[in-house]
A and B are shown apart, each in its own frame.
Chain A
Amino acid sequence: MNGDVSLPTGLRNDPPALRGRIEDFLYLEAELLDEWKIEEWFALFAEGATYEVPPTGTDETDPATSLFYIADDYVRLRERVVRLTKKEAHSEFPRSQQRHMISNVRVTGLGDGIAEVSCNFVTYRAKRGVVDTYYGKHLYRIDTTVDPFRILSKRSILGMDMLYPGKLTIII
């Protein structure tokens, strides 16, 4: 398989249309995060979905054997969201302001209606006069057979060689 050069079979019919629908979906996700609609954001995830942020500056990909920043199964992700709604989540009280930018969206695979999607991201977080910048690549598996789409997994690979902002308290 030529990977990047040849499109997956399922996309040959109308790849831009599918990518457009996926981009719309990702822009919706970004807006929900920008607006702190965190519970609505969680509703975009299918039951059993995962959300992960692997360590920076390494090629380690398995949270069972290496130390991730975030390795949420569906329960831990739900509890992350619950926590963020409390004012005792001190690092996000008062809440930071955020802006999520995504680009370079590509559908890299499609089978049984499950799209493999990659995109670049830059997320800005501002609090108390300090602006944190997170950047990297998101890898998604998205179920496109349901309306609205549902995220089956999201892995955010930071493009930074260390965690310069110090903490990762928001969804990037």
Chain B
Amino acid sequence: MDSILTNPQMVVEDRQRHLFRVSRRAFTDQSVLEAENRTIFDRCWLYLGHSSEIADNCDFITRNVGGRELIFNRDRAGAVHAFLNTCPHRGAMVVRERKGNALAFRCFYHGWAFNVNGRFASRFEEGNYGAEHYGGGCADLVQVPRLESHRDFWFVNFDRNAVSLSDYLAGAKDYIDIVADHAEAGMEIVGSGQQYIINANWKLLAENSIDAFHGFPVHSTYFDYLRTIGSLRMEAGAGAFSASGMHDLGNGHAVIEYASPWGRPVARWVPSWGEDKREVVAQLRAGLIRRFGEERGTRIAEFSRNMLIFPNLVINDIMAITIRTFMPSAPDKMTVSAWALGARDEDSELRKLRLFNFLEFLGPGGFATPDDQEALENCQRGYRNMREVGWNDISKGMPRNGPPMNDDEEQMRCFWRQWNERMGGIA
């Protein structure tokens, strides 16, 4: 049993004293990362990709998920697969392109070929291979043990005995639905994603992605920018939905939901978009209200949501929608992959605004995300003082009477309780 019990406790919650603390060793120890690989990344449902990325039959993309190299593809009949991208012969990665469309995959090392449904497709002269190779499956591409989807979001699990994706996602399904419901025509990934490296522990980005507390201190220059160009509209949208706060979605997943001052291409106009866009956006909003009623329609249009699906998937539906996942390669290093999601039939001007909103705030060349990265890397560097200052404080909001606020830290406590449980710790 992988257990952090052999180590001093890493997550300490004291409800009487309103204290929640996480050991900084959780961010720095190689042995913690190794335990995370076995107890978390080998067992949790991990995001693989979106249906729109393999829209046509025989489309494929290659992707690193949970430390594995995978092929995510659609076969000739349109069925979706996830294969481990390694030749069953001698191990070479069979597909080396990032994406494409192919009727078959062929390993360049010795030429073993496969149908896009994974079946071994080479025919060698008699005497080379036995029947097991042709009909027995021993030369087929190996499928990822579990592959399931919810509303075009595909996930894999390397644990054959894992609970269903539906049970795992629990309350997070409702919030995936909100994103999937933005457009009647469905949603799609726009262009390629962004891939970048942050020299910090992966859990720092999990926390940061759903942390409203840091918004104003870290991102004042972004809000200055919005104010200057007329992209800030403070009044919350009048309507039936006005809740703001945080929801524990179960299994370590959590979301914060709040009225936000920025424009949302789904259906929240700001003056910098111009009067001609005002009517287009009003119609989108009316469409949402027609489809879902006043309350849900207003909620989709007006409110922003930052959601973390344990362990490493972020779906932030804010001034644009980002799907972001990240994987550690060392305790102090992660690779981040982020994609923009938009309506399939989006007005071309709104699509452009969506992309600009994304790169201004969410992109690593923008006016906000680089400062998050700076904060994360500063934390990681600060942990060098761990022997003397050994604990992070995640207590904000604990004494609050009533439901948690979106800028409390209860959403992070949801993450850490799940992390602790999976790592074998006791609360």
**A contact set with B: CB distance below 8 Å:** 53, 55-58, 60, 63-71, 75-76, 79-80, 82-83, 86, 88-91, 128, 130, 162-169
Contacts and interface: CB of A to CB of B under 8 A. Distances in A.
A75 B91 CA distance: 52
15 contacts: A58-B192, A63-B356, A67-B339, A67-B358, A69-B359, A69-B363, A70-B359, A70-B365, A76-B229, A82-B228, A90-B374, A166-B198, A167-B196, A167-B369, A168-B365
Grouping DSSP codes into helix (H, G, I), strand (E, B) and loop, the B interface class, with mixed when no group exceeds half, is helix
Interface of A is mostly: loop
Given A128-B381, A163-B196, A166-B199, A71 B355 contact: yes
B7 interface: no
B369 to A, nearest CB: 7
B104 interface: no
Contact of B374 (A64, A91, A168): A91
- Band of interface residues on B: 35 or more
B221 A53 contact: no
Contact of A67 (B192, B228, B370, B381): B192
B364 A89 contact: no
Interface centre among A58, A67, A80, A168 (most CB of B within 10 A): A67
B355 A167 contact: no
A60 B221 contact: no
A80 to B, nearest CB: 7
A81 B410 CA distance: 37
Given A69-B359, A90-B371, A169-B370, A164 B190 contact: no
Given A65-B191, A67-B191, A69-B364, A89 B196 contact: no
A68 B371 contact: no
B199 A69 contact: no
Nearest to A172: B365
A63 B355 contact: yes
Contact of B228 (A57, A65, A66, A79): A79
B371 A55 contact: no
Minimum-distance CB pairs A-B, first 4: A66-B191, A69-B365, A168-B365, A163-B196
A168 B228 CA distance: 22
Contacts of B339: 67
A57 B98 contact: yes
Given A164-B197, A168-B370, A68 B359 contact: yes
Given A67-B193, A67-B194, A68-B359, 13 more contacts: A55-B192, A60-B192, A63-B355, A67-B340, A69-B365, A71-B356, A71-B359, A79-B225, A88-B221, A90-B375, A91-B373, A128-B381, A166-B198
Nearest to A78: B228
A67 B322 CA distance: 11
Contacts of B369: 167
A167 B373 contact: yes
A162 B198 CA distance: 12
Contact of B348 (A64, A66, A68, A91): A64
Contacts of B220: 88
A164 B194 CA distance: 11
Nearest to B191: A66
A91 B198 CA distance: 13
A63 B348 CA distance: 12
A86 B229 CA distance: 17
B96 interface: no
Interface string B41-75: 00000000000000000000000000000000000
Interface string B352-364: 1001101110011
B192 to A, nearest CB: 5
A76 B363 CA distance: 14
Q: From A60, A86, A91, A165, name the one whose CB has the most chain B CB atoms within 10 angstroms.
A: A91
A60 B191 contact: yes
Contact of A163 (B355, B364, B381): B364
Residue in A57, A75, A162 with the greatest tally of chain B CB atoms within 10 Å = A162
Nearest to B373: A167
B336 to A, nearest CB: 8
Most buried by B among A58, A63, A79, A165: A79
B195 interface: yes
Given A79-B228, A79-B229, A86-B221, A66 B194 contact: no
Nearest to A53: B365
Given A163-B195, A166-B197, A67 B364 contact: no
Nearest to A68: B359
A92 B200 CA distance: 18
A95 B232 CA distance: 28
Contacts of B375: 90
Contacts of A82: 224-225, 228
A78 to B, nearest CB: 9
Given A64-B348, A70-B359, A128-B381, A163 B194 contact: yes
A75 B229 contact: yes
A80 B367 contact: yes
B351 interface: yes
A79 B366 CA distance: 11
